[in-house]
Amino acid sequence: MPAAGRLCTVDAPIGFLYDPAFLDHDTGEHVENGARMAATMSLLEESGLLARVRRVAAPAASDDDLALVHDRRYVEAVRRAAQAGGAWADPDTLITPRSFDVAARVVGGTLAALDAVLARDVESAFCLVRPPGHHATPVQAMGFCLFNHVAVAAAHARQRRGIERVAIVDIDVHHGNGTQDAFYGDPSVLYISTHEYPFYPGSGAATESGAGAGQGFTINVPLPAGCGDAAYARVFDEVVLPALRRFRPGLLLVSAGFDAHFADPLANERLSVDGYGALAGRLIAAARELCGGRLLLALEGGYDLVALPWCVRRTVELLLGGEPAPDPLGAVPARPASDLDGLIAEVRRIHAL
């Protein structure tokens, strides 16, 4: 399976979701702000990549869509907070007057992109969206997240589109506690997370592996700080890919957080653009091997205004099957991982990989 570099050119177009309305969730100087979108769209435009993708519209998700994962009382509480002029949902998470509408369009657009993938109108899709979603639980906003777009997409695929098994791979540097909560007892959704640990939000130990019928279908790889390209590649080759092959999903969703890049201000891992490209290459190849290429990636974190755009650009280049542009940021030496051998062995033992 190729790790990175040039992949075969695809026959079907690649879907791409972005809407200027995502800027209306105006968080001011908060680190999760609209500059993330502006910088990324600028680089994609300059590169010519936007001319090669099929744009997907972002309709608003209905309350029924959101209720696939979120409690209706929670949905209504977010709506009321926005209508009342906004509020802080927690010390990190701002609801502005437009936040409900924007977050609903993030979910609706993600569902539209997913439906295009499942209908084979596009081979795969990348969703450039904000606010992020993977910390949003069925009943709580947190970690910059209001509605969990990837979790809703997984539930939509299962409950409405007849996909028997859905896999979610979360490469954000923070553990996706909301996504884990949504499917912790569900054997039809495999959730795999690679994340810095111990770190926000404090969940994601290797022993958190599901409950009841879902036991074994949550796989956490809690990485020490300082891991770089080689460590992440090894985790994918020894844990993530074997787990996907055993599960054999009909659809692969990716919570594409790019905040494990060494330049990111909110974390302490040391991935490079090339390192992220290596992970994306593995996921693209896995989707083609296991589920007919049915792959959707949706943005989560990533807060450096140079690293984030370049990581998105590399991912889109690989989806399109082209030769990636050189990594302008290069790499930095990774700190020696504290007993990565032991961590991988523990995860493989827990999950019989």
Per-residue pLDDT of 107-143, as tens digits, reads: 999 999 999 999 999 999 999 999 999 999 999 999 9
Please work out, in degrees rounded to the nearest 5, the angle formed at the alpha carbon of residue 264 by the alpha carbons of 58 and 114: 25
Instruction: Give the fold, CATH level 3, of 14-350.
Output: Arginase; Chain A (3.40.800)
Compute the average pLDDT of residues 235-259.
Answer: 98
Compute the average pLDDT of residues 61-68.
Answer: 98
What are the Cα distances from residue 54, in Å, to 170, 175, 341? 24, 31, 42
Give me the half-sphere count of Cα atoms (radius 13 Å) on the Cβ side of residue 33.
9
135 is catalytic: yes
Q: Is the pLDDT of residue 301 over 50?
A: yes
Q: How far is CA 174 from the centre of its chain?
A: 11
* Position 337 confidence tier, pLDDT thresholds 50, 70, 90: low
Which of 198, 144, 154, 156 is closest to 180 using CA atoms?
A: 154
To which residue do tokens 């695929």 refer? 157
Cis peptide before 242 (omega within 30 of 0): no
What are 291-294's contacts with CB under 8 Å, separation 24+?
291/248, 291/249, 291/250, 291/251, 291/252, 293/10, 293/12, 293/123, 293/124, 294/117, 294/118, 294/124, 294/250, 294/251, 294/252
The span from the CA of 171 to the CA of 148, in Å, is 15
Q: What percent of the chain has pLDDT over 70?
A: 96
Q: Which residues are CB-neighbours of 29 under 8 A, at least 6 positions away?
A: none
* Position 338 confidence tier, pLDDT thresholds 50, 70, 90: low
Q: Which residues are CB-neighbours of 49 under 8 A, at least 6 positions away?
A: 313, 316, 317, 320
What are the Cα distances from residue 287, in Å, to 112, 135, 318? 19, 25, 13
With contact defined as beta carbons under 8 Å apart, do 207 and 216 qualify? no
The span from the CA of 298 to the CA of 127, in Å, is 5
The span from the CA of 129 to the CA of 161, in Å, is 23
Comparing 108 with 5, which gets the higher pLDDT? 108
What are the Cα distances from residue 122, in Å, to 54, 259, 336? 8, 27, 41
DSSP for residue 317: H
Q: What is the pLDDT of residue 334?
A: 87
Q: How far apart are the first and last CA of the chain?
A: 18
DSSP for residue 244: H
- Please state whether the predicted TM-score (pTM) of the whole model is above 0.85: yes
* Position 322 confidence tier, pLDDT thresholds 50, 70, 90: confident
Q: Which of 25, 70, 134, 135 is catalytic?
A: 135
Q: What is the pLDDT of residue 11?
A: 56
Determine how β-strand 14-17 pairs with β-strand 124-127: parallel
- Any idea where the domains of the chain sit in the sequence? 14-350
